[in-house]
Structure formats: C-alpha cells, structure tokens
Amino acid sequence: MISKKLLGVFALFVVALGSITSTMAQSNTLVIWADAERAPLLVDLADEVLADLGITLQVVEIGLGDARDGLLTTGPVGEGPDIMITPHDTIGQLVENGAIIPLELDESLAEQLSPAALSLFSYKDQLWGIPYAIENVAIIRNTDILPEPFTTFDDVRAKAEELKEQGIFALAIPTGNTYHNFPVTSAFGGYIFGLNEDGSFNIEDIGLNSEGGLAAAEWLAGMYADGLLPTDVNDDVMFSLLEEGRAGAIITGPWYSQRISETLENYAIDPIPGVEGVTENGSPFSGGQGFVISAFSENQLLAETFLFDYLATPEFMQAIFDAGGRPATFSTVDTSANPNVAGFMAAGYNAIPMPAIPQMASVWGSSDAALTLISTGGDPAESMNTAVQQITTAIGVAAALAASDSDTITLVGSLQSEAGCANDWDPACSTTFMTDNGDGTYSFTVTLPAGDYEYKVAVNGSWDENYGANGEANGANIALSLSAETEVTFGFDSNTKAITDSVNN
C-alpha cells in the first residue's frame, strides 16, 4: 500500500521535472563562438543588440584552433554556434563538410574589404566568411646591430658571416617550421601547390622540390652547416636571442607586436629579402581570421542580419583593431595607434594566401620534418624529395599519378639506402624516381659515399620491366665504384634503354 503511494508521488516528481527540463523557450538567441581576445568585444555589443533588436547574444569563448572541430562536432547535434570566428585555413574543410553557408557582400561592403583578405575566405568561387584581420610574417630588425635592411639572401649570408665573429646571428628563424620558413622558399622561387589556369590549386604540382624549392633548401642547409643560422629555435628562444643582442633580426608576425616593442627599443619591420635574378622580395604566407555562419544554425537569417549590421561595420572593426593590433581588413580602420601594423602590411604586399584546401594538412607535418632534417645536417635534396613523396602519398595523388600515362623510372640497387630509401633493391621507393626530362630521357643526381655499388633501372615501380647493362631487359647489374664521396648523375634513355652514369661513362 505504502509503496504504491510513494510510487505515485515519485511518478509525479518525474513528470514535473521532466516537463520543466523539456520546455526550453525558443527565444531570439544567437550563439557566437569567439576567441579570448574578441569575446569581450562581443559581450560589450550584447546590450546594444538586445535593446535594438531584441536579440540575446550568447558569447562562448573557444580557442581559434578549436573552432573548426567544435563546429563539426556540435553543429550536427544542434549544440553548435550560429556565428563563429575561425582562421581562414579551416574554410576548405568546413565547406567540404557542409558546415558553413556562403555569404554575399553588398558593393559598399566589398569596397571596404581588401581583395587579398576576401580571397582568403573564398573557396570554389564563393565567399564563405567576413575577414577582420589579415596577417603575415616579416623581418624584425634590431637597428642597433643591423642599421641597413637585408637586400637579398646573399646579403643575409654575408652579414651573418661578419657578425659570427662577434657571436651574433644575423637572422634567426624558428627551426623546422614551414610557416616561418616559407618566405625563404618563395624568395628562391619555390612554392607549395602550383596554380591551375583558373587560379585554383593544382595538388599534383608540389613545389617543395622544384628548382626554387631545392635552391632554398640548399641555402638553408649551407647556413645551418656553417653555423650561421641557429638551430633548435622556437619563438621563445628567438626572442631571448633578440633580447640578449645575440640576433640581428628575426622572422615573426603581428601576434607578437607587443612583445617586439617590449623587447627592442630600436627596431624596424622590413619586407622579406629576395634573390638576385629570381625575386625582388620573398613572399610570406598571408592568413586571416573572420566570421562564418554555421549551416546547422536554425536562425541563419538572423545570424546574417547580425553579422552584416553589427559586426561587419567600420565601428566594430575599429574596436577589434584597437583591442588586438592585428592588421585590419577594412580599409576604414585607423591603424595609426599601432605603428608596427604598417610595417607588417608593407611586408605583406606580395603575400601568398595560405592555401585553405583540405590537402594542406598533409603538407605541414612532412615539410616541417624536412626542414628539421636540414637543420641537423640532412641532405637538402633528399629531405625535400622525401617530404614531397610523403605528401603525395598522403593526398593519394601517387595512385593517380601511377594511373596516368607517363612511366615512372626507378634507380634500383645497393645504393638506394645511401640515396635515402628505406631499403635497397626497392623499385617502389620514390626517393630514387628518376626525373623525366621530357624528351624520353630520365636523369637522377645524388651524392653517394665511397664504396662499391650495383644498380639497374626498374619501370613503373616493379620488377616486371627492368633494364640492366647494355640496355638489356632483365640485364646484369651495373657496377659502380666510388673511391670518395661523389655526386653522381644517372641517365636512362627510354627509347634505347641505355643506362649511363657520370662516373663510368
């Protein structure tokens, strides 16, 4: 008897509490995700917006690096934001996952935004976000140590040699960091992804081991080997060097604007030096941050209204700049309060947008590894070739290439491990793929230590078709004897099947 009564009371409890938790009022709420610097500005806006439009602004603080994953995880279950701040390199991935909606600008707004900034948030011919900051690295020079800016990278080397006697590094760059080293690569004519005619990225054309890319790698290797560039350097080490007067210049970005002013009294912000005969100035990567609207939002129209009427306005953009000091994308913003900004923007006149395509994820890791290897004495050409091979494997392009018409010719033999492959006699190792010279001949150059080797040539990554001495199919191995470390160039003529090398022939 008693337990039935209690059960009854209990059931009432459940119903009551359940109904309370179930009824969540559908109010005019907009959820915005912003990082720690921007969030307070949005909170300040909340009262105004509530009074004018009756919108309740819910500002949630979330790190810039976490925004993309957060949206992809919470959006589909209805717990995501309506508007979000994100760095531009997440755009490709967000669009491919259908997570954000395209935006349209009025003419008046388009005039106020720089085309470079807009291109950062464009993907597949549509605009997906409104940028509020655009940034790129530059050379920060201690004018007490280096009164004149660098002109070319040869100049950098010359000054490094001069200053080495005083125990000062002319230039310090974060080690093994592609983002900060890219200006060097681009100065020598290298690139990450080549461009198609329509301006989109050609993911089959990776420029890390192009002529320019390799030249940059060689320059870096030489500098590290001669002790002219410091190794094992990260941002904190870099600023320590600057502070102690042991570095004449560093490469860093506007996020450290304040730290620069605090560390140095007399400094200048210069564009990246160039390379004689190749470029006037190296190009840093340009990156941006901006607002996007979630495709999972149930209030997209309201979000769009709020974004364009309150956020993409000169007043709010000015407020963002005043708070953060990052170069602004709106031309109306008065940047005179922060003189560093002008320097960074000048250095970014030829900045190359950091590709926002999903394939970029594969690039960073392998390229960073290659740069680290170079800094510890690794062979620049081998390291870059390995990086490109890793990237193409990751992107899955290798399969596509194999399916195409052109053959791949591999130099196989007991010299493959010395040339950078994991194993000898491996026809699939792409580190020793010979370069197609376009006229039916292939060549491959590598520096080998002294020793006796045997080699031959394999076609399309397997032993099915291979050639040896005298151009014979399945012919004998060719002997190669080196008395000292030598740079050897191998050649293969796909018409006559003749194999040559610069030592024997």
Partner 1 sequence: MAVNTKQKGVAPGGASLFSTIVTYGALALLNAVALTLIYGLLDMGNVPLAVVLGIIAFGATIIFFVPRFYPIRWMVPGLAFMILLVLYPIYFTVSNAFTNYGDGHLYAKQQSINLITARKYVPEEANVYRWEVMQADDGRYALYLTREVNGVLEAAFAPEGESIEPIAEPTEEAPETYNGFRLLTGADRTTALGVIQSAVFGLGDDTVGIRTRREAARPLKDRFIYDSVTDTITDQTDGRVYVANNEIGQFVPQDGQGDPLAPGFIVNVGLSNFTRFISDPGLRGPLVDIFVWTVVFSLFSVLSTFALGLMMALILNSPYIVGRKVIQSLLIIPYAIPAVISIMVWRALLNQNFGLVNKTLMDVGLIADGIPFLTDAAWAKFSILLVNLWLGYPYMMLICSGALQAIPSDVYEAAAVDGARPWQSFRSITLPLLLVTVGPLLIASFTYNFNNFLLIDALTQGNPPIPGSPVQASYTDILISYTYRLAFGNRGADYGYASAITLVIFALVALVTVFQTRFNNQWEKVSDNG
Q: Taking CB under 8 A as the criterion, which residues in 68-97 touch partner 1?
A: 69, 72, 76-78, 93, 95-97
- The DSSP letter of residue 426 is -
* Secondary structure of residue 118 in the 3-state scheme: helix
Structure tokens at 39: 């969030």
* CA atoms of 452 and 376, how far apart (whole Å): 27
Give, as ranges, the residues between 427 and 486 that touch partner 1 (CB under 8 A).
429, 431
* Nearest residue (CB) to partner 1, 99 versus 140: 99
CA atoms within 13 A of residue 34's CA, in its CB half-sphere? 18
Question: Binder to partner 1 among 353, 420, 427, 491 (CB under 8 A)?
Answer: 420
Q: Is 167 in the site for partner 1 (CB under 8 A)?
A: no
Q: Is 104 in the site for partner 1 (CB under 8 A)?
A: yes
* Nearest residue (CB) to partner 1, 17 versus 476: 17
Q: Judging by DSSP bridges, how do beta strands 267-270 and 409-413 pair with one another?
A: unpaired
* Nearest residue (CB) to partner 1, 28 versus 332: 28
* Nearest residue (CB) to partner 1, 274 versus 358: 358
Q: Which of 443, 441, 454, 363 is nearest to 412 (CA)?
A: 454
In the bound complex, what is the minimum distance in angstroms from residue 401's beta carbon to partner 1? 14
What is the biggest distance separating any 2 CA atoms in the chain, rounded to whole angstroms? 106
SS3 annotation, 381-398: HHHHHHHHHHHHHHHCHH
Give the x/- contact pattern for partner 1 in 191-230, rule: CB under 8 A: ---------------------------------------x
Give, as ranges, the residues between 380 and 399 that touch partner 1 (CB under 8 A).
382-383, 386, 389-390, 393-395
The piece of 218-226, 376-384, 403-411, 443-451 that touches partner 1 (CB under 8 A) is 376-384
* CA atoms of 184 and 47, how far apart (whole Å): 48
Give, as ranges, the residues between 271 and 300 that touch partner 1 (CB under 8 A).
295, 298-300
* Nearest residue (CB) to partner 1, 340 versus 385: 385
* Nearest residue (CB) to partner 1, 37 versus 379: 379
Instruction: Identify the residue whose tokens are 């170079």.
Output: 374
Give, as ranges, the residues between 346 and 365 that touch partner 1 (CB under 8 A).
358, 361-362, 365
Report yes or no: 251 and 242 within 8 Å, Cβ to Cβ.
no
Burial of 432 by CB count in 10 Å (0-12 exposed, 13-18 middle, 19+ buried)? buried
* Nearest residue (CB) to partner 1, 23 versus 404: 23
* CA atoms of 395 and 371, how far apart (whole Å): 20
* Residues touching partner 1, count (CB under 8 A): 77
